[in-house]
A and B are shown apart, each in its own frame.
Chain A
Amino acid sequence: MPTGNKSEDVILLAHGDGGRLTHELVTGLFLRHFENRLLRELTDAAAFPVGEGRMAVTTDSFVIDPPFFPGGDIGKLAVCGTVNDLAVSGAEPRYLTVAFLIEEGFPLADLDRVVASMAQACQEAGVQVVAGDTKVVGRGHLDKIFINTTGVGLIRPDVDLGYHRLAPGDLILVNGNMGDHGMAVLAAREGFGFADQVVSDCVALHRITGRLLDELGRGVRLMRDLTRGGLATSAKEIAVSAGMDIWLSESEIPIGLAVQGAAEMLGVDPLYLANEGKFLAVVAPTEVEKALTLLRADELGREARIIGEVKAGGGNVFLKTALGGTKYLDLLAGAPLPRIC
């Protein structure tokens, strides 16, 4: 289908061939937005000093459809997603690499928007893009734009998070409403009428997780960002890996009204919807009040709640319903599909 764009307004296969157009893209677009000393060198690899402690490395690929959605876009998501994986591991995020896979014909203006949004997210997260790659594939060989980011962060010597730290009696907190991102993207993709009422929570969490670690130290046992599969899937993974049971209290789990209503209409469970600015912290019972106060004092944790408890057991997750019934939560099986009636 003709797009009406002039050829210079869209990504061409030649933008990925390593020649003149690639160079123009790197210097004219990527460097303009990601400006920093390490990247400006344009060498084959970025070299940087590392301090005391351990390094954390994580990688994630972003293939979201649609690439622009209420509350964010694929660029912001690609930065925040990787930053958050570092943050909940107890690392201070430092550097990112970015790889773009772009479909021939993708509008340059959209690429500029995505990269500008990434640059802003990087600035907010205090990370620098120090290496990158661009590939262009023929029309129809991928859907618009995919982005991979790899993140490097530093973990201070005194930080020790992990399944091995969980003990019966530990309490589970979340920093806010569940399911906003998953529902916002679903609504934007399907063009539902309520699409403007649900906004993705996509945001970098490193400051709030860093503060929690600074103030509580070893009182924080484990943190997880609640992305694909949502709260239920993360809780199940934690329970299985730690070899303990997790009991969640349904009435304490915060869910926004719009998400709740939309989820019911579509027959999806908000506990299985993705979040991009929410995390779960397992905290020692003696530290929980302090943790709650601290989270609620931050704008990313206003709706923070204690939603459950770790108990001795064998890897089950139970949800206490408002009536006092019990249901069992398991991993998400396949993408949530809408129901018929």
Chain B
Amino acid sequence: MQILDRFRDPETGRALLARVSALAEQAQEKLGRRVVFMEVCGTHTVAISKAGLRSLLDGKLELRSGPGCPVCVTDYGDIDAMVAFGRLPGVTVGTFGDMVRVPGSQTSLEQEKARGADIRVFYSPADAVKWAEANPDREMVFLGVGFETTAPAIALSVAQARALGLKNYSVFLANKVVPPALHALLVDPELRLDGFILPGHVSAIIGRRAYDFIAEEYGLPSVISGFETLDILDALYNLLRQVLAGEARVENGYTRVVKEAGNLRAQALLDQFFEITDVSWRGFGVIPGSGLQWKPEYRDFDARVRFAPEVAEPRIPKGCRCGDLLKGKLTPRECKLFATACTPTHPVGPCMVSTEGACAAFYQYERRSS
């Protein structure tokens, strides 16, 4: 923690903030408008809100949230399927905590639990395997949600279940990979961005190199950032320097965690267990090559194959703009439902539910009630 304190030192922070503000003003002059950056990752959104950075940079720089909140981009159809698993007799659904309150077309896992479904929150898929081992008379269906970050642990859970000879553990895999979503954003003609703050955790797995296409194909600056206030300020500083110099590079501002080629062991696990497939993201629709599915030799552990629950065509609530928000086209305050029809206790869309969702972060930390 003492080391972490250095990344929060207020004096260094204020000095860096002053430099960021000065560069942001220069960039504004150069472009004739405010600079717009996107923080791709939901954990960055929360860190920015918690540090109060948006209010400190107000008017000089605009920060938009991106598609990096795994719960938020989980499609309605996938959530409806998760609910359907919970309704199958003898099935216990294991999930990360964030998913519990996310509304599907009709209902959420939280509501299903209150009505009698057996829904259990686990911090790690390994705990779900342990649970399955201790409860051989129940089927454990674990909900695989997340990006490259959670996929290795989910792969290992299946390896563990196989080693233990468990027949009652399976995974409903809805994991996604980040780079194709960035491609999808970058080809959108409506989007006007001047650079990306790239995720820290995902980058730890896939490495800095995996983003080179942002600079090479689209000519945009980007910086991989850690999650401390100084990390984020440093990333903004370096992004602004690139903008002012008219450069486009993928900089690694999180070298204490992220390597050039990433975590090779984790990548090997992904290759061993998963293959790439086309999946639907909330707000984006189907993005080619953006999802994971089990390789044929692991399909015994695929909950979709094992149970094939019936799921009706999803119904999308009217007025919810989570999709546009995840594409950086608006901020939470610009959505008509924000803080009126859509609140953390009665969320309409997933961005209001997840702790990493932009709407939840804005609601919690950046809203005045009067």
Contacts and interface: CB of A to CB of B under 8 A. Distances in A.
A6 interface: no
A65 B291 CA distance: 38
Contacts of B229: 322-323
A338 B101 contact: no
A108 B150 CA distance: 43
B55 A327 contact: yes
B216 to A, nearest CB: 27
Of B51, B146, B147, the most chain A CB neighbours within 10 A belong to B51
A323 B56 CA distance: 9
Contacts of B343: 333
B62 to A, nearest CB: 16
Contacts of A322: 8, 10, 13, 229
B17 A323 contact: yes
B98 A340 contact: yes
B123 A190 contact: yes
A324 interface: yes
Interface stretch (B296-304, B311-319, B358-366): B358-366
B348 to A, nearest CB: 14
Contact of B52 (A251, A315, A321): A321
Contacts of B354: 339-340
B50 A327 contact: yes
A330 B364 contact: yes
Nearest to B360: A333
B235 interface: no
A4 interface: no
Nearest to B52: A325
Name A's interface SS.
loop
Given A328-B366, A341-B150, A261 B1 contact: yes
A334 B145 CA distance: 21
Contacts of B52: 319-321, 323-327
B149 interface: yes
A257 interface: yes
A190 B126 CA distance: 13
B1 A327 contact: no
Interface in B106-162: 121, 123, 145-147, 149-150
A124 to B, nearest CB: 33
B70 interface: yes
Contacts of A339: 43, 96-98, 354-356
A314 B369 CA distance: 8
A145 B121 CA distance: 22
Nearest to B56: A325
Given A321-B51, A323-B17, A340-B71, A329 B365 contact: yes
Contacts of A341: 43, 70, 146-147, 149-150, 201
B83 interface: no
Given A261-B1, A333-B343, A339-B356, A315 B145 contact: no
Interface in A263-311: 266-267, 269
Contact size class for B? 35 or more
Contacts, number: 112
A227 interface: no
A333 B344 contact: yes
Contact of A328 (B145, B201, B367): B367
Contacts of B70: 340-341
B146 A334 contact: no
B142 to A, nearest CB: 13
Interface string B77-111: 00000000000000000001111110000000000
A242 to B, nearest CB: 13
A26 B229 CA distance: 58
A9 B150 CA distance: 45
Nearest to B347: A333
A315 B345 contact: no
Of A320, A330, A340, the most chain B CB neighbours within 10 A belong to A340
B209 interface: no
B14 interface: yes
Contact of B370 (A192, A316, A319, A320): A316
A251 B356 CA distance: 23
Interface string B53-77: 1111000000000000011000000
A338 B123 contact: yes
B49 interface: yes
A341 B153 CA distance: 11
B121 A325 contact: no
A334 B344 contact: yes
A330 B13 contact: no
A337 interface: yes
A59 interface: no
A326 B50 CA distance: 9
The 9 lowest CB-CB distance pairs between A and B, nearest first, are: A325-B52, A333-B344, A337-B97, A314-B370, A327-B365, A338-B97, A322-B10, A321-B52, A341-B149
Given A321-B52, A326-B55, A334-B344, 16 more contacts: A266-B123, A267-B46, A267-B355, A314-B369, A316-B370, A321-B51, A323-B10, A324-B52, A325-B51, A327-B55, A327-B365, A329-B364, A330-B364, A340-B150, A340-B356, A341-B150
18 contacts: A269-B50, A319-B52, A319-B365, A322-B13, A323-B10, A323-B53, A326-B55, A327-B52, A327-B55, A328-B364, A328-B366, A330-B364, A334-B344, A337-B97, A337-B355, A339-B43, A339-B356, A340-B96
